[in-house]
Structure formats: C-alpha cells, structure tokens
Amino acid sequence: MMSSPWARFYSNSCWWCCHVHTGTIILGIWYLIINSVVLLIILSALTDPGQYHLTTAELGGDFEFMDDANMCIATAFSLLMILICAMTTYGAYKQHAAWIIPFFCYQIFDFALNTLVAISILVYPSTIQDYLWLLPANFPYKEEIMSITPTCLIVIILLFISITLVFKSTQGGQMQCERV
C-alpha cells in the first residue's frame, strides 16, 4: 500500500509544520543568535560605560542602574544561555536528547515566570502605573504611555503577554516532542 508523502510529513511534524528535529535546531540557533546579540551589547557597554550608564540624577533615586556587579551577572547569564543554546543545537543535530534537557528546563522556568507576571498584573493592576511613575523623566514615550487609560494599558500588556505565552507554549511542546 502506498502512503502519501504528506502523511509522513505530518506524522513527524510537531512545531510550526517543521519536523521536530529541524524545529529544535532552528529554535536553538534562534536563541543562540539572540543571546549572542545580547552579549555583544553587554560587552559594548563594558567597553564604553558612559554609553549605557544612567546617573543617579537621571534616575531620580539613590541607586545605580547598571553597576559592575549587575554587568558581571548579565555577562555570566548571557554566556550560560549561549552555552545552553549551543548544547540544544548540538543535541538536536546529533540526536542526543540529554543535551536538550537544560534548554527545556529553561523554557519551563521562563514560561512559569511569564505566567506569574500576567497573574500579578491581573491581581495588582495599579503596579503598572506605579512603575511608570518610577521611570526617568527622559524615558522615551513616557508621557504618551502615561496618557493611556490604565484599563487600556493593562489590556495591551496582557494581550502582549498572552501572545508571548502562546508562542512559548508552542516552543515547550516542540521541545517535549523532541525529548520523546
């Protein structure tokens, strides 16, 4: 009995109509690129501290926005994420499921954290307005954002978080399919 080539394609697809193997490699490379760009931005901020450094006068508080400890933590986290993404790409390419597990754990943690942010916005909607008041006076589009009604602003933020959660849930489902 002959089977359609489409039946084989759909039986092996799990993530955005890609084969699970291909989808995991694409996802790993995508996160690898994003985290590499973040690392380049952090390193450029380390080489020219005045470029990204906000003074206490600009922030209106008694704290530094990005001090040396925060820059070291951001650099270490970015390097760790590059390592995890490289492991995921290598594990998917060589079909070693154990190499994908750290990225899968990161995806679960990230999804849970985004869900908690959405819940906190629903439970404490006034925190968005409080956060906006704490932004520096020269923050881009601060006045325009403050002019939006609080209810509309909450709906916009929740819509954005919902879209993000849907996208992240498809990634997590694809990673689960690759593990099996």
The answer on pLDDT for 180 being more than 50 is no
- The owner of tokens 């968005």 is 128
**pTM of the predicted structure, to 2 decimals:** 0.68
Region of poorest pLDDT, from 8-17, 30-39, 121-130, 149-158: 8-17
Select from 29, 18, 33 the least CA-distant residue to 177: 18
Residue 98 has what pLDDT? Answer: 93
| pLDDT tens by residue, 23-47 | 889 889 999 999 999 999 888 878 8
Other CB atoms within a 10 A radius of the CB of residue 32 amount to 18
CA dist 165 and 152 (Å) reads 20
> What are residue 19's DSSP bridge partners?
13
- Percent of the chain residues topping a pLDDT of 70: 74
Residue 45 has what pLDDT? Answer: 79
